[in-house]
Structures are given as structure tokens and as C-alpha cells.
Amino acid sequence: MSLSIVILAAGKGTRMKSATTKVMHKLAGKALVEHVIDTAMQLLPQSLAVVCGNGAEQVQPLLASKQVNSVMQHEQNGTGHAVMQAQDEFADADQVLVLYGDVPLTQLSTLDDLINCGDKNSLRILTTKLADPTGYGRIVRDDASNVICITEQKDADQATLAIKEVNSGIMVLPAQWLTASLSKLENNNAQGEYYLTDMVALAVADGIAINTVCCNDNAEVAGVNTRQQLAELERHYQQLQANKLMAAGVTLADPARLDIRGDVTIGQDVSIDVNVILEGAVKIADNVTIGANCIIKDSTIAAGTEILANSMLDKATVGENVNIGPFARLRPGTVLAAQAKVGNFVETKNANIGVGSKINHLSYIGDTDMGKGVNIGAGTITCNYDGANKHRTVIGDNAFIGSDSQLVAPVTIAEGATIGAGTTLRKDAAAEALTLTKTVQRTVAGWKRPVKKKT
Ligand code: UD1
Ligand code: CA
């Protein structure tokens, strides 16, 4: 039974008061419409198209990157009119699922239930019951509880306005019947629009069965119209993520102060302090501790590692039992082997740090291959950039770099080498030897400090 999916996303979103078109606003770091697309794709439809209009040029690059078709609706003449623009997309399908680009949190299981709640020749509507149904289309039923039509707020009389069961907007329709009947829609209503919801009364007239699934979780069918609603849905989504982590054995100092903007995998007995942001693809193994205010993006962290407060990791790979921070910045291409230490005010980039090596304070280590057991003194800088090109610094096992040294790349420090404090190293340093570049200390007896000349 073939399924086509049409996502409506041409609306303006006036109430967002934004130059960004509504469906491109982000929830958990991902555009609203991308949430809908990602869920839709899991249904493995034979075709998937997004109806674009307002801000189409903002939506289309995303669609292209996900290989999703886009259909233009040049004038926004209503939800029925939007579906008309997508007719070619479902010409060969048995049924069509209509989703909204501004309803991001509908679960796959709910859509599955909707698709399977009646045979493919029926019209299926996802509904929900709201204490305050203002603004929504009402599900109107006869005395036998059969759906007879959907009436929009602006077209409803007092009795209809009192109905609490509302249209989520999400519907499954028999495709061939839809194609044949769309042209029967009229726009003689309060908004002068072609309503998709009018297909319900047309279906009843044609003897098409109507089924409904009532979704108990209002957030799953909630649309975003304002920034306040966006913030509410964001919080709801974050709470769900936090609940999942806690159920899987993660300790959260405060589930309301963790933000997940991507896909995370977290092991058991991981402990996360307040105000942590996890972005992109993050993998955290068992027994990792993350301090307050850390931002971890697209990184992998092995078991037993401790990340102290205010550290930032971006595209870093961290081994077991490593110590990071506080105030460490691991930039892309940082690879820390087991038991390494990267302390406060240390920045690393494109750097392989060997087992047990320590960079404890105030350093920049970039484009570096460092062996095991190395000690980097405070204030060490790898000068990796000559103004045009980047060069690598190679540091052998058990080397010791004195504080406040500059390692001018390309340069190699052999195993067991010691570099004296304050060295500016421009040539390779020999193994198991002391290398110094500053003058030997001497004392000038009777030396006087200069005095200011009188004018
Ligand atoms: C619609 C439903 C209403 C339902 C509510 C749920 C109709 C007539 N009404 O009302 O029954 O309770 O959603 O949120 O369907 N869109 C287009 N092109 C258009 C018009 C809209 O693509 O010409 C898109 C919008 O971008 C949006 C969706 O369709 O994603 C819904 O449009 P909107 O104007 O918000 O419909 P509502 O009046 O809220
Ligand atoms: Ca709406």
C-alpha cells in the first residue's frame, strides 16, 4: 500500500515577527520543518514533498540537502490550495499523509496509528481534545458520533465553538479520490481560502469512511505560531530528552538545565551538572562526569573521563579516564589518549595527545603529535602558523617542555628531551638532552637602573 507525504510549509508565520520564515526557526537546534521531514522519512513513503511559498528560498537549500522535493505555492490560498499544488507528487499513490511544517513533535508511532486506523480508502484525521480549543478547526459529529465535517473557528456558530475536539491538521486521505475531488473545494468561507478541512464533508457525501485517532499528548499536535509557543515546545522537548537520559541511568543535577540539540548516546552512571549543552552527535561512555556550563559538540568521550566546569569540546575524541578543564577548549581534531590531562585556559586543535600526557595550564597546542608521558609547562605555545601555512610540531614520549616556551613549527622534539623554560625553539631538539635558547644567567655587579633625565 503506497504512501505519499505532503508537508505544508508555505504559510507566512506573521506572528513570529521574523525575517526567518517560520518553519526554519529552530527547535533543539534543528529547523521545525526538518523535525517533520525526519519523522516523515521514517515512514518510508514512496514520495515526500514540501509545499513552499513564503521564504521558499530559505527552505529549499535544506530540502536539497535532504533530497526532498519542493513544490511552489505562489499565493497562499489555503491548506486545500496548498495540497492542490502537490497533486503530481501523489498521482501514483494509494494514500496521502498531510503534515504541517510547523508541527514538529508528532511521534512516529502516532502517525503509524493514524495510517493504520482504517483501510486505505478511508479518510483519517488526527484529533486532540483541548481545554481551550480557540483557533482550531472543530471536529463536528452527528448523534451517532460519526464525523460529519470540520468547521473552522472563523466559520463556527456558538454551539460548534463549544466543541473541544479539534483538528490537528494531520490527515490521511485516499489519493485517487483526493485527486478527483480537490477541484470541488470552494473558497466561500470567512477567510476566502480553499480549506483542506472541507474534504471531510465531501468525503461524507461520497460515502467515504472517516476514522479519527485522538492524540492524548497535546504537544505532539501543537503548532508553532509565536515565539512563546516555540519556547514552550522547546522546553517540552528538552524535558522528554532529559527523562529518557534519566531512565537510562544518567544523573542530571537539574533536568530543566540541560539542552540537547542533536543525537546523543550516553552510558550509565554519567553525571551532568547544570547548564550543559550537548550538540550534534555526542557519545559519552559510562562513568563520565561533566561539570557545570560545559558545551560539548560532535565529540566522543570514553569511560571514566572527568570534564570540569566551563569547558568546550568541538569535534574532539577523548579517551578513558582523561581530565579536562576547568576552562579548557578542545577544538576540532583534538584526540586525547587515556589518562591525558588538559587543564585551565588550554586550547588544543588538530592535536594528538598521548597516554598520560599533561598540558595543565595556559597553553595553545595546535597541529601537534605528542607521545605519551609528556609534560607541557604553563604558557607553552606551538607556533603552528607562519602566516600562510600550518606546520606540525612533533613531541616524543616523556619529553618535558619548560614553561613559557614557543615551539616554532615545523619542529620535532625527540623522546625524553627537556626544553628549558622560556625557550624559543626553532630547530629540532635532541633526545634525552637539555635544550636552551636563552642566554645563560649572569650577574652584573654594581649595575644601576636607568634614571629619568631631568629636562
Ligand atoms: C489549520 C486547519 C485547522 C486546524 C489547524 C491546526 C485548515 C483550513 N484549518 O488551521 O482545522 O485546527 O490548522 O493547527 O486547514 N499553509 C500552506 N499554504 C496555505 C495555507 C497554509 O502551506 O495557503 C500551511 C502553513 O504553512 C501551515 C499549515 O499549512 O504549516 C497550516 O496553516 P495555518 O494557516 O496555520 O492553518 P490554521 O488556520 O492554523
Ligand atoms: Ca496554524
Residue 274 CA to chain centroid, in angstroms?
19
Give pLDDT tens digits for 305-325: 999 999 999 999 999 999 999
- 439 has pLDDT over 80: no
In this structure, the answer to whether residues 174 and 253 fall within a common structural domain is no
In this structure, the answer to whether residues 233 and 112 fall within a common structural domain is no
Give pLDDT tens digits for 75-91: 999 999 999 999 999 99
In this structure, the answer to whether residues 167 and 270 fall within a common structural domain is no
Please indicate whether residue 444 or residue 219 has the higher confidence score (pLDDT): 219
Beta bridge partners of 124: 172, 211
Q: The cell 505519499 sits on which residue?
A: 4
Q: Determine the pLDDT at residue 438.
A: 79
Average pLDDT estimate for 89-111: 97
Q: Which of 170, 193, 221 is the last residue of a domain?
A: 221
Give pLDDT tens digits for 341-352: 999 999 999 999
- Contact predicate 393/375, CB 8 Å: no
Give pLDDT tens digits for 229-282: 999 999 999 999 999 999 999 999 999 999 999 999 999 999 999 999 999 999
Sign of CA dihedral 25, 29, 32, 33: positive
Q: Extract the runs of DSSP E, i.e. beta strands, from 1-153.
A: 3-9, 26-27, 30-31, 47-52, 69-72, 95-100, 123-129, 138-141, 147-151
Distance of CA 225 from the midpoint of ligand 2 (Å) = 6
In this structure, the answer to whether residues 199 and 262 fall within a common structural domain is no
What does each C-alpha distance from 259 to 218, 229, 264, 277, 279 come to in angstroms?
22, 17, 11, 5, 8
Q: Determine the pLDDT at residue 235.
A: 97
Closest ligand to Cα 32: 1
Give pLDDT tens digits for 364-388: 999 999 999 999 999 999 999 999 9
Query: Is 317 domain-assigned?
Result: yes
| Count helices and strands in the chain by DSSP H and E runs | 9, 35
Please indicate whether residue 103 or residue 120 has the higher confidence score (pLDDT): 103
In this structure, the answer to whether residues 213 and 243 fall within a common structural domain is no
Average pLDDT estimate for 351-356: 98
Q: Determine the pLDDT at residue 440.
A: 81
- pLDDT band at residue 455, thresholds of 50, 70 and 90? confident
Q: Which of 204, 221, 238 is the last residue of a domain?
A: 221
Q: Is 361 an annotated catalytic residue?
A: yes
- 12 has pLDDT over 90: no
Query: Is 268 domain-assigned?
Result: yes
Of all protein residues, whose CA lies closest to atom 17 belonging to ligand 1? 10
What does each C-alpha distance from 365 to 154, 215, 326, 342, 392 come to in angstroms?
64, 54, 17, 10, 10
CATH number of domain containing 152: 3.90.550.10
In this structure, the answer to whether residues 232 and 206 fall within a common structural domain is no
Query: Is 449 domain-assigned?
Result: no
What does each C-alpha distance from 31 to 23, 42, 93, 101 come to in angstroms?
6, 17, 28, 9
Q: The cell 463536528 sits on which residue?
A: 140
In this structure, the answer to whether residues 192 and 280 fall within a common structural domain is no
Residue 381 CA to chain centroid, in angstroms?
34
Of all protein residues, whose CA lies closest to atom 1 belonging to ligand 1? 169
- pLDDT band at residue 450, thresholds of 50, 70 and 90? confident
In this structure, the answer to whether residues 417 and 312 fall within a common structural domain is yes
Q: Which residues lie with the beta carbon below 6 Å from any ligand 1 atom?
A: 8-11, 51, 73, 76-79, 81-82, 100-102, 136-137, 150, 152, 166-169, 195-197, 223
Give the whole-number percent of the chain exceeding pLDDT 90: 95
Q: Determine the pLDDT at residue 411.
A: 98
Query: Is 447 domain-assigned?
Result: no
Per-residue 3-state assignment (H helix, E strand, C coil) for 12-52: CCHHHCCCCCHHHCEECCEEHHHHHHHHHHCCCCCEEEEEE
- How many structural domains comprise the chain? 2
Give pLDDT tens digits for 13-52: 899 999 999 999 999 999 999 999 999 999 999 999 999 9
Q: Which ligand 1 atom sits nearest the alpha carbon of residue 168?
A: 6
Distance of CA 148 from the midpoint of ligand 1 (Å) = 20
Q: Say whether 363 sits in a helix, a strand or coil.
A: strand
| Interhelix angle 56-65/32-41, nearest 10 degrees | 40
pTM of the model: 0.91
Distance of CA 79 from the midpoint of ligand 1 (Å) = 6
Closest ligand to Cα 103: 1
In this structure, the answer to whether residues 291 and 319 fall within a common structural domain is yes
| Range(s) of the domain holding residue 123 | 3-221
CATH number of domain containing 302: 2.160.10.10
Residue 137 CA to chain centroid, in angstroms?
32
Average pLDDT estimate for 358-367: 98
What does each C-alpha distance from 307 to 169, 324, 376 come to in angstroms?
45, 5, 19
Distance of CA 448 from the midpoint of ligand 1 (Å) = 85
In this structure, the answer to whether residues 313 and 209 fall within a common structural domain is no
- Which one of 14, 23, 79 would you pick to mutate in the ligand 1 pocket, going by the greatest count of ligand atoms within 8 A of its CB? 79
Of 25, 35, 361, 391, which is the active-site residue?
361
Neighbours of 44 (CB within 10 A): 8
Query: Is 454 domain-assigned?
Result: no
Q: Determine the pLDDT at residue 166.
A: 97
What residues have CB less than 8 Å from 244, skipping those under 6 apart? none
Q: Which ligand 1 atom sits nearest the alpha carbon of residue 100?
A: 30
Neighbours of 131 (CB within 10 A): 6
- 454 has pLDDT over 90: no
Give pLDDT tens digits for 269-307: 999 999 999 999 999 999 999 999 999 999 999 999 999
Q: Determine the pLDDT at residue 329.
A: 98
Q: Which ligand 1 atom sits nearest the alpha carbon of residue 73?
A: 18
Query: Is 441 domain-assigned?
Result: no
Distance of CA 103 from the midpoint of ligand 2 (Å) = 9
Cell of 65: 540537502
Q: What are phi and psi of 300, to 5 degrees?
A: -120, 130
Q: The cell 598521548 sits on which residue?
A: 354
d(CA 455, CA 442) in angstroms, rounded, equals 34
In this structure, the answer to whether residues 102 and 161 fall within a common structural domain is yes
In this structure, the answer to whether residues 103 and 199 fall within a common structural domain is yes
Q: Residue 99: is it exposed, middle or buried by C-beta count within 10 angstroms (0-12/13-18/19+)?
A: buried
Q: Determine the pLDDT at residue 244.
A: 97
d(CA 218, CA 105) in angstroms, rounded, equals 10
Q: Determine the pLDDT at residue 352.
A: 98
